[in-house]
Amino acid sequence: MFGMNKNDTTMLLLVAVLTMLAPFILNPFPTDSGLAQFNAGYPDLMQRFVIFGIFAIGFNILFGLTGYLSFGHAAFLGVGSYSAVWMFKLLSMNVIPAILLSVAMAGVFALVIGYISLRRSGIYFSILTLAFAQMSFNLAYSVLTPITNGETGLQLTLNDPRILGVSQTADGSIPVTSLFGMEMRSTYEMVVGPWAFQFNVGYYLSALVLLAVFYLSIRIFRSPFGLMLRAVKSNQQRMNYTGLNTRPYTLAAFVISGMYAGLAGGLLASMDPLAGAERMQWTASGEVVLMTILGGAGTLIGPVLGAGFIKYFENIFSKINESVLHSWFSALPDGLEDLLVTLVYPFVGKGWHMTLGILFVLVVVFLPGGLVEGGQRITTWLRSKKADGNKPTSTTEPAE
Amino acid sequence: MGILEVKGVNKRFGGLQALGDVNLSVKENSVHAIIGPNGAGKSTLLNVLVGKLIPDTGSVMFDGQSVLGRAPYEINQMGISRVFQTPEIFGDLTVMENMMIPCFAKRDGAFEMNAIASVLSQKDVVEKAEHMLKEMNMADKRQMHAAALSRGDKRRLEIGMCLSQEPRLLLLDEPTAGMARADTNNTIDLLRQINEERNITIAIIEHDMHVVFSLADRITVLAQGKPLVEDDPQNIRGNPLVREAYLGESA
Amino acid sequence: MDAILLQVLNGLDKGSAYALIALGLTLIFGTLGVVNFAHGALFMIGAFCAVTVQRILNLSYETVDESQTDFLGNALVVKTPYVEAWFGAETGGAIIDWAVPLAILFAIPIMVFVGYAMERGLIKHFYKRPHADQILVTFGLAIVLQEMIKYFYGANPIQTPAPEALSGIVNLGAIIGMDIVYPVWRIVYFFFSLLVIGGIFSFLRFTTFGMVVRAGMADRETVGLLGINIDKRFTIMFGIAAAVAGLAGVMYTPINSPNYHMGMDFLVLSFVVVVVGGMGSLPGAVLAGFLLGILESFASMNEIKSIIPGIDQIIIYVVAIIILLVRPRGLMGRKGVMEE
């Protein structure tokens, strides 16, 4: 279907079902129950799932296929956000022109930065992108304050000269972002018994965009272009001696992934029209690297899984504070309770970054293929166990 | 005029004269062997031919056009393919994918932004690659990762990849190094067949005299970066200069 | 003229820190071939060694002094550091005052141990893995170390003053009839870093150990073939590099109060320094460290900022990008090292 093989179609449909039904799937616990804190079906959180999913899918086109590790992709996300907010300020509150400009601007930036950075490969490439990202951050944070509003971040005001639209609404407030009249923030709440499911316009717009770009990434992976990108990762020498010019291939991949990042940035600003320099910091670039690796670099579904996984646990872990921990372990004797709380506390709440760092190290050391590889290993293990049960003499497949 | 004309090529690395006034003329449809003791400059010469090194002086003409100053991929697109001493293939990709890449390079040139169509929908490339795999007796291994192939298979795959580009000149750098006798003989047969049936000119660097004398129509002997002799195999055999150059090396 | 000399001096202290971190990065890259993104964290740990020593020396016991009362009329609680009780108020006070320099003694074993543990525990498994994996795992490690420091010491910068005697300012220009006022501690820092750099260079130059390490940097396999246990020496080298970063951190604390993200802040710039100096070149790292420090300090002059606003924030990156493109191997890099 859609020019894809059966596996890819299944995967796309799976992602489609998951994203469309996310308000149900992510809200399994009744609102009043103690487990409601594990729900994730809130509009802003669901929006982050899919938007960072888009970011990671794009990053994977560069890193997963060509093996070029960029430490500067957050810069493109930031460029996208600033562009979108400017579009809201100057043109209209409609998200379409804002997102289009985000993608275009990020593409231009990626073209320039990629053109220079890709003249080197390996670690030099990583350091060049890192330098560019840090430079962009500094530019946004202080140098280009007239454009970025520096430390405070770029926001809408009551005096924006909006060409197609009004500076303020009738009641004197800042207009909200919308898609042809459908407000991004508008949420329909469906109450079913003790459950409350929220359907948000902004989320569904982002989810549809995710599906579109996920489909695009499947096509890229299966195309001759995608094959060439994997060949770049595998053996550049052979590429050159096969009459193929690697640089335009890597540059195209870099620009495409930069545009994905810009799209994500534009969507972020469309959901909440502000843009700050901290989105461009290189630690933010590190986060998208982690999402991609954790899910499985070079696989189609990996980045989506990785982004969802990290954003979900970021949300859950950040909410856990000392009193929550005490309530969890309250059934235990006091001494043991305190001990457990002390042991767990550094890793939750504000300590989420610590957990993230540990996770990063563990994944790179033990599971370089990420969650997807983990899943495959478990499947293989289960199958071999089953096969062993049936045929004790069966030989194991050669490892590759 | 040969298809490949090398004239007065010099290359220095610091104080070392790697190539000194090298002349070479490879005739179309011939098998031309370049031999010489270690350090004679054979590999340097090869790297000059494929654009990896630029000589200090001299000219290299392929089919009437200069190759100097062109990038390796451009020289390849002119019709020169190279087989490496250790097979250079795409280890992470399957054998079939390995074979398709040169087919795409032949069809679409050095860069083509073909990002939407599926690889499998490119029927002409798929057919050509499958045909080539069959010719190389590797059709049954098409789904294997290339890195998992045996050394002989890797070599065959690499040669097949070069052939699917339909080159006019095939450069080989000690293609039988480290091979068992049987594999060596197979490779000799394969190369002879390539030369005779596909009319591809072959320039080969080789240590193994058995390979050289079974294949070559013409031989150039290099010693210390300088061409010693260029002649037919039967004359090379009896040439005292050549014997001398090889004395103490592999006489 | 005064202003220019002052900017050169201003650049020296930052340049010293860059040089010391870059030196360690280069040692690790040159010997182990590993790109260590956690090196900034080592600098930070060093700085927090100073904080720790200061806190330990300030550990106090409380006594109630009945003869004095506070403003509520209660008897005054007097805190006396143990050090003062043991050595007398004068000597004890001096020891506390000299906490930062004293921390060097404390930091060296700690840093060598941290470096050793890092190399044996994690990094040695990554020698054969791609550079991307090395970057990723050390990046993760850097996050973990940074968060640990944040957990134990909080997120706010911690004041760590220099000894009273070394914390004033001095007019360096007086000798040559100019007016260049400069903090004493920064002069100390500069000479301290020269001392460390000199120490490392002589160690590599004049000891057998250093000779083997240098040979290993040039050609690892051959040295391995000679039957020399190069791996063990490289482990020690990692410890030394960690100690250098740590010492740079300890002594830097009076210049900038340490916080948990200082490592990351310095890391990116130190990488740029390494690249500009030439990957794998020790003199290059030192030279580029000082050059870029001074360059940054010039760019932050008001006269220059009024021409190009904000240039001080980006000058180093701009220079690095230009150098990488024009001369990929850096100022003093050997040809062929990571030139791809």
User: Do B106 and B216 belong together in one domain?
Assistant: no
Check A126 against C135: CB less than 8 A apart: yes
- For chain A, what is the HEC assignment? CCCCCHHHHHHHHHHHHHHHCHHHHCCCCCCCCHHHHHCCCCHHHHHHHHHHHHHHHHHHHHHHHHCCCCCCHHHHHHHHHHHHHHHHHHCCCEHHHHHHHHHHHHHHHHHHHHHHHCCCCHHHHHHHHHHHHHHHHHHHHHHCHHHHCHHHCEECCCCCCCCCCCCCCCCCCCCCCEECCEECCCEEEEEECCEEEEEEHHHHHHHHHHHHHHHHHHHHHHCHHHHHHHHHHHCHHHHHCCCCCHHHHHHHHHHHHHHHHHHHHHHHHHHCCEECHHHHCHHHHHHHHHHHHHHCCCCCCHHHHHHHHHHHHHHHHHHCCHHHHHHHCCCCCHHHHHHHHHHHHHHCHHHHHHHHHHHHHHHHHHCCCHHHHHHHHHHHHHHHHHHHHHCCCCCCCCCC
Considering only CB atoms, A131 lies closest to which of C132, C264, C320, namely C320
Inter-helix orientation angle C262-277/C39-57, to 10°? 140
Q: Mean per-residue pLDDT for C31-44?
A: 87
Give the rounded percent of residues in chain C with a pLDDT score beyond 70.
93
Q: Is the pLDDT confidence value at B194 over 80? A: yes
Residue found under tokens 């191997």: C329
Residue found under tokens 């001392």: C195
Q: Mean per-residue pLDDT for A274-285?
A: 86
Residue B222 · residue B45 · CB < 8 Å? yes
Which residue range forms the structural domain that includes residue B235?
Answer: 1-79+168-251
Handedness of CA B119, B121, B124, B129 (dihedral sign): positive
User: Do B69 and B183 belong together in one domain?
Assistant: yes
Please list every residue in chain A whose beta carbon sits closer than 8 Å to the beta carbon of residue B116.
Answer: 219-220, 223
Of A92-106, A160-174, A228-242, C197-211, which range is least confident? A160-174
> Which of B115, B136, B166 represents a domain boundary (last residue)?
B166
Residue A196 · residue A190 · CB < 8 Å? yes
Q: Is the pLDDT confidence value at A396 over 60? A: no
Of A191-200, B201-210, C331-340, which range is least confident? C331-340
- Determine the 3-state secondary structure of B134 from DSSP: helix
Q: Is B85 inside a domain boundary?
A: no
User: Do B75 and B176 belong together in one domain?
Assistant: yes
User: Could you tell me which residues are beta bridge partners of residue C196?
Assistant: none
Q: What is the ipTM of this complex?
A: 0.91
Residue found under tokens 């449809």: B29
Instruction: Find which of A233-242, C212-221, C304-313 is predicted with most confidence, using mean pLDDT.
Output: A233-242
**Shortest alpha-carbon distance between residue A397 and chain C (Å):** 25
- Give the CATH number of the domain where residue B242 resides: 3.40.50.300
Bin B41: left if φ > 0, else alpha if -120 < ψ < 50, else beta.
left
Q: What is the pLDDT of residue A316?
A: 84
Give the predicted TM-score (pTM) of the model: 0.89
What is the rounded distance in angstroms from the CA atom of residue A290 to the CA atom of residue A314?
13
* Domain count for chain B: 2
Kindly report, residue by residue over B20-33, the tens digit of the pLDDT: 899 999 999 999 99
Residue B10 · residue B17 · CB < 8 Å? yes
Q: Is B133 inside a domain boundary?
A: yes
Token couple for B229: 């002799």
- For chain C, what is the HEC assignment? CHHHHHHHHHHHHHHHHHHHHHHHHHHHHHHHCCCCCCHHHHHHHHHHHHHHHHHHHCCEEEEEEEEEECCCCCEEEEEEEHHHHHHHHHHHHHHHHCHHHHHHHHHHHHHHHHHHHHHHHCHHHHCCCCHHHHHHHHHHHHHHHHHHHHHHHCCCCCCCCCCHHHCCEEEHHHHHCCCCEEEHHHHHHHHHHHHHHHHHHHHHHHCHHHHHHHHHHHCHHHHHHCCCCHHHHHHHHHHHHHHHHHHHHHHHCCCCCCCCCHHHHHHHHHHHHHHHHCCCCHHHHHHHHHHHHHHHHHHCCHHHHHHCCCHHHHHHHHHHHHHHHHCCCCCCCCCCCCCC
User: Do B74 and B184 belong together in one domain?
Assistant: yes
The set of chains that have 3 or more CB pairs under 8 A with B is: A
User: Do B174 and B238 belong together in one domain?
Assistant: yes
Q: What is the pLDDT of residue A393?
A: 44
Q: What is the mean pLDDT of chain A?
A: 87
How far does CA C109 lie from the centroid of its chain? 16
Kindly report, residue by residue over C302-339, the tens digit of the pLDDT: 777 777 777 887 888 888 888 877 887 788 876 654 44
Please list every residue in chain A whose beta carbon sits closer than 8 Å to the beta carbon of residue B90.
Answer: 230-231, 234-235, 238
Residue found under tokens 């890195």: B147
Check B111 against A249: CB less than 8 A apart: yes
What is the rounded distance in angstroms from the CA atom of residue A25 to the CA atom of residue A318?
21
> How many beta-carbon pairs below 8 A join chains A and C?
116
Of A175-179, C103-107, C246-250, which range is least confident? A175-179
Q: 248-277 in C: which are within 8 Å (CB) of A?
A: 264, 268, 271-272, 275
Whose CA is closest to A97, among A272, A268, A266?
A266
Q: Mean per-residue pLDDT for B151-166?
A: 91
User: Do B61 and B180 belong together in one domain?
Assistant: yes
> Which of B101, B135, B166 represents a domain boundary (last residue)?
B166
Contact between chain B and chain A (3 or more Cβ pairs less than 8 Å apart): yes
Q: What is the pLDDT of residue C265?
A: 81
Q: Domains in chain C, please, with CATH?
A: 2-54+103-326 (1.10.3470)
Burial of B178 (0-12, 13-18, 19+ CB in 10 A): exposed
Burial of A349 (0-12, 13-18, 19+ CB in 10 A): middle
> Which of B129, B146, B166 represents a domain boundary (last residue)?
B166
Q: Is the pLDDT confidence value at C211 over 90? A: no
User: Do B197 and B121 belong together in one domain?
Assistant: no
Instruction: Find which of A29-38, A129-138, A228-237, A346-355 is predicted with most confidence, using mean pLDDT.
Output: A228-237
Q: Is B84 inside a domain boundary?
A: no
Kindly report, residue by residue over C257-298, the tens digit of the pLDDT: 888 888 888 888 888 888 888 877 889 999 999 999 999 888
Q: How many degrees, rounded to 5, is the angle at CA B163 between CA B162 and CA B168?
A: 95
Question: Distances in Å between the alpha carbon of C242 and those of A260, C193, C266?
Answer: 39, 15, 15
User: Do B42 and B66 belong together in one domain?
Assistant: yes
Contact between chain A and chain C (3 or more Cβ pairs less than 8 Å apart): yes
Which of C268, C300, C312, C329 to mutate against chain A (most A CBs within 10 Å)? C268
Q: Is B195 inside a domain boundary?
A: yes
Please list every residue in chain A whose beta carbon sits closer than 8 Å to the beta carbon of residue C125.
Answer: 365
User: Do B26 and B37 belong together in one domain?
Assistant: yes
What is the rounded distance in angstroms from the CA atom of residue A197 to the CA atom of residue A193?
11
Q: What is the pLDDT of residue B250?
A: 47
User: Do B214 and B95 belong together in one domain?
Assistant: no
Question: Distances in Å between the alpha carbon of B110 and those of A224, A370, B113, C27?
Answer: 13, 34, 10, 41
Residue A354 · residue A313 · CB < 8 Å? no
Residue C40 · residue C261 · CB < 8 Å? no
Q: Is B197 inside a domain boundary?
A: yes
Q: What is the pLDDT of residue A400?
A: 36
Q: What is the pLDDT of residue A189?
A: 85
Handedness of CA B235, B239, B242, B246 (dihedral sign): positive
What is the rounded distance in angstroms from the CA atom of residue A379 to the CA atom of residue A381?
5
- Beta-carbon contacts of A184 under 8 Å, excluding residues fewer than 6 positions away, are A95, A176, A177, A178, A200, A201, A202, A205, A270, A271
Please list every residue in chain A whose beta carbon sits closer than 8 Å to the beta carbon of residue C141.
Answer: 357, 361
- Per DSSP, chain B holds a count of helices (H) and strands (E) of 9, 10
